[in-house]
Amino acid sequence: MQFYLNGYRPGDPDLVAPSEAAAARAPGLADTMDVLIVGTGPAGMLLAAQMAAFPGIHTCIIERRDGPLQVGQADGVACRTVEMFDAFGLSERLVREGYWVNEVAFWRPSPEDRSRIVRTGRVQDTADGLSEFPHLIVNQARLLSLLEERMMTSAARLAVQYGWEFVSLAVEEANAHPVAVTLRHVASGETRVVRAKYVVGCDGARSRVREAIGLQLKGDFANHAWGVVDMLAVTDFPDIRLKAAIQSADAGNILLIPREGGYLVRLYVDLGEVDPANREAVRSITQEQVIATAQRALHPYTLDVRSTAWFAVYQVGQRLTERFDDVPEEVRATRLPRVFIAGDACHTHSAKAGQGMNVSMQDAFNLGWKLASVLEGRARPELLATYSAERQPVAQVLIDFDREWSKIMGSPPKDPARPELGGVDPAELQAAFVKSGAYTAGVGTHYPPHTMLTAEAAHQHLAQGFTIGMRFHSAPVIRLADAKRLHLGNVARADGAWRLYAFADAQGVQMRALMAFLAEDAASPVLRFTPKGADIDSVIDVRGIFQQGHRDLRVEELPALLLPRKGVFGLIDFEKAFTPDLKTGPDIFDLRGIDRVRGALVVVRPDQFVAHVLPLDAHAELAAFFAAFMVDQTG
C-alpha cells in the first residue's frame, strides 16, 4: 500500500482526505449528476465503490430501503471475487473474517440401510494454483458494509441516499445530462426529477430500470423449491464444518454451507417439485417445516436448532435479458448507451453454484472503469458498448451451467435396487463438482476477441499462462527495491488504470528499448493518453519483471520509466520493478510460460483481464491497440 505521496498525514491511511469537488457538494440527493446507481445490492455497491475512486465524477446511489442490509442472502465469495476485492484493499478483512471452504464432503444413502446417510467422498474445494486466495463464505450484509465503508472513506465521500425509489426515466440526448429520472421518497411520497449522464439499474430481479428500457427477463421459471436457513445448532453430524452435498433417499437433498464465526451454518434444503399451477403454495412453507425436512434427511444424525438468523423459501428460474443496456441491436451503429443494468436485473438463477453475487459484482467491475474512462475524457464513448457485448454472453454461460447444476443438485440419489427410477449417482455428483471447479471459483470467464478490448492471440505463445481474454493469473515475485515477496497481481488497485507487465528478454535489450519508446517516443501510448499534469502511471501503469534474482539487479540501473517521479513533490515510485522468487519459488517465468529468450508484454485491463500479449518490440502494434478507443491528450 502506498501513501504520503503528496504529504504526510497522520492516522488511518485508508481514510483519504475529501477532494475539493466532494467537499463542495451539498449533502443529500443532487439535482444533476454524472452517474446514478439504483440499488445497493452487490452489483450496485461494487459499482459505487469503483466510482468512488474518481472524486471528480459526481456519482449518486439510491436505495428504497431506509438503511443498509442487515441480514445476508448470498454468502459465497469466489476466489476471483476475493482477487477483485484485493484491488479495493479489502481482501485481508474478507480472508480474516470469512469461512474458508477448503474441502467438500459428499453423502448418500447407505447401500445397507437407505434410511441412513453415509459419507462417500471428500475432495479439495479449489484446485492448487487456481488462485492465491481461498473460496470464502461471508455474510452478504457484511460484504456490502465493507464496500460502503470504502465509499465513505474515499476522496469522493460517496454516501448512499436511502429511502428513495426509482419510478421512471426518459432519455433526452439534447440535454447535457440526458437521462431524466423520476424518483419517489418512500416515507413522504414526494416525487422528484433528477438528471444524470448515465444510469445503472442494480435494482434486482424486479428491476424497474430494466422495465423502463423495455427489457424482460426471459427463460425458465423454476419448478423446484428450496428452503434456506442460517442457524445455530447442536448436532452430531461430523461434517458440520465442511461444505457438504447430502443426498437422502426420500427426504430430499441438502447443500450444507458452514458460515463465518465458527458456529453458524446454512442449509439449503430440497423442498421438491413446485406445481406450476400453484406456485404461491411455497410461500406457506414454514421455517419449522424446512428444519424438520433437514432433520429427516440427516438421519441417523441429529440436528437440534437453537437459534435461526435468517430463513427464506425461493424458486428462482434461469432467466436472462437479451442485452444489458438501452440500445436495441438494430440501432447500435447510430446510438450509444445511456442506461445499463447489472446483476439480478439482467440475469437470475439458483444459489446452488454460488455464482449470483459473484457474477453480479463482476458485471459492475466491468462497467465501472469504462464509465470512469469515458467521463474523465480518457476514452471514447464507444467503449461503453462493450459492456453488454462482453457481459451478456458471460451471463448466458452462467444460465446454462446453473440449469445443469440445479438439475444434478435437485435429483434424488440412484437406488441400486431400483435403477429404473433414475436419479443421480453420488459419484456423478462428485465428478461434476470437481469438473466445474475453475468455473465456480470464478476464474473461467473468457472474453473472445470480438470487441476493441480483446486482441487476437497471434502472440499468445510468448506468455502461455496469461490467456488473452481471461483474468490476469497472479504469481509470486520479489519487489526489487525492498526485496518483499508478494503476488504480482496484487499490486494493481481499482483505480481505472491499464497495466503493462513487461517481462524481460534474456539479454534485456528489447526490454530497455520498450522502456525508452514508452518514455520518450511521441507515438508512446503512455505519453499520448496521459493528461497533462497527471502522474505518468495514472492511465497506463508500466511494470517491469526481470529474469535475474533481486540481488543481481541494481535499482539505480533501472530504466527511468520504472522509477517515475510523481505527486506534488516529484517523489520517486520505487515499486515498479520485480524479479522472480528464486529462493522459495516458483519462478514466474516458468510458472506462466514466459518466453525466456524474447520476453513478453502483457497488456491488462483495469478490471484485471488480459487484453493483449505482444513481443517487447511490437511498439506500433501496442500504440495501435490503445488508439482504437482512447482519446489523445497531446493536442
Q: Quick check: helix, strand or coil at residue 619?
A: helix
**Which helix H or strand E contains 162, and what residues bound it?**
strand 160-162
Please give the grid coordinates belonging to residue 595.
518466453
Residue 41 near residue 348, CB atoms below 8 Å: no
User: Are 495 and 564 in the same domain?
Assistant: yes
User: Are 127 and 242 in the same domain?
Assistant: yes
Listed in sequence order, the residues at least 6 apart from 430 whose beta carbon sits closer than 8 Å to its beta carbon are 106, 120, 121, 123, 245
The per-residue pLDDT for range 557-567, each reduced to its tens digit, is: 999 999 999 99
Identify whether 9 is part of a domain. Answer: no
Residue 37 near residue 62, CB atoms below 8 Å: yes
CATH code of the domain covering residue 275: 3.30.9.10
The per-residue pLDDT for range 514-556, each reduced to its tens digit, is: 999 999 999 999 999 999 999 999 999 999 999 999 999 999 9
Distance CA 560, CA 486 (A): 23
Identify whether 268 is part of a domain. Answer: yes
Among 285, 314, 343, which residue terminates a domain?
314
Distance CA 294, CA 256 (A): 10
pTM above 0.75, yes or no: yes
CATH code of the domain covering residue 539: 3.40.30.20
**What beta strand segments (E) does 552-628 contain?**
565-566, 571-572, 577-580, 600-604, 610-614
User: Are 110 and 127 in the same domain?
Assistant: yes
Q: pLDDT-derived band of residue 352, with 50, 70 and 90 as boundaries? A: low
Identify whether 260 is part of a domain. Answer: yes
User: Are 190 and 243 in the same domain?
Assistant: no
Identify whether 593 is part of a domain. Answer: yes
The per-residue pLDDT for range 602-628, each reduced to its tens digit, is: 999 999 999 999 999 999 999 999 999
- Count: domains in the chain: 3
DSSP string, 416-469: TT-GGG--B-HHHHHHHHHHTHHHHTT------S-STTS---TTGGGBTTS-TT
The per-residue pLDDT for range 401-410, each reduced to its tens digit, is: 888 877 777 7
SS (H, E, C) 213-276: CCCCCEECCCCEEEEEEEEEEEECCCCCCCEEEEECCCCCEEEEEECCCCCCEEEEEEEEECCH
User: Are 543 and 610 in the same domain?
Assistant: yes
User: Are 144 and 234 in the same domain?
Assistant: no
Identify whether 417 is part of a domain. Answer: no
- Higher pLDDT residue, 419 or 382? 382
- pLDDT on residue 354: 65
- Domain with 537 in it: 460-627
User: Are 623 and 519 in the same domain?
Assistant: yes
Residue 315 has pLDDT above 80, yes or no: no
Dihedral sign computed on CA atoms, order 303, 309, 314, 320: negative
User: Are 352 and 500 in the same domain?
Assistant: no
Percentage of residues of the chain with pLDDT beyond 70: 98
The per-residue pLDDT for range 40-80, each reduced to its tens digit, is: 999 999 999 999 999 999 999 999 999 998 876 778 999 99
User: Are 74 and 112 in the same domain?
Assistant: no
Residue 283 near residue 304, CB atoms below 8 Å: no
CATH code of the domain covering residue 353: 3.50.50.60
Distance CA 317, CA 293 (A): 23
Going by C-alpha positions, the residue among 426, 551, 421 that lies closest to residue 480 is 551
User: Are 513 and 551 in the same domain?
Assistant: yes
Residue 106 near residue 244, CB atoms below 8 Å: yes
Distance CA 233, CA 143 (A): 24
Identify whether 187 is part of a domain. Answer: yes
User: Are 142 and 130 in the same domain?
Assistant: no
- pLDDT on residue 420: 66
Identify whether 482 is part of a domain. Answer: yes
Identify whether 504 is part of a domain. Answer: yes
Please provide the distance, in angstroms rounded to a whole number, between the alpha carbons at the two ends of the chain: 34
Among 400, 415, 430, which residue terminates a domain?
400
Distance CA 61, CA 200 (A): 9
> How many CB atoms within 10 Å of residue 500?
23
User: Are 248 and 359 in the same domain?
Assistant: no
Among 265, 296, 314, which residue terminates a domain?
314
Residue 494 has pLDDT above 90, yes or no: yes
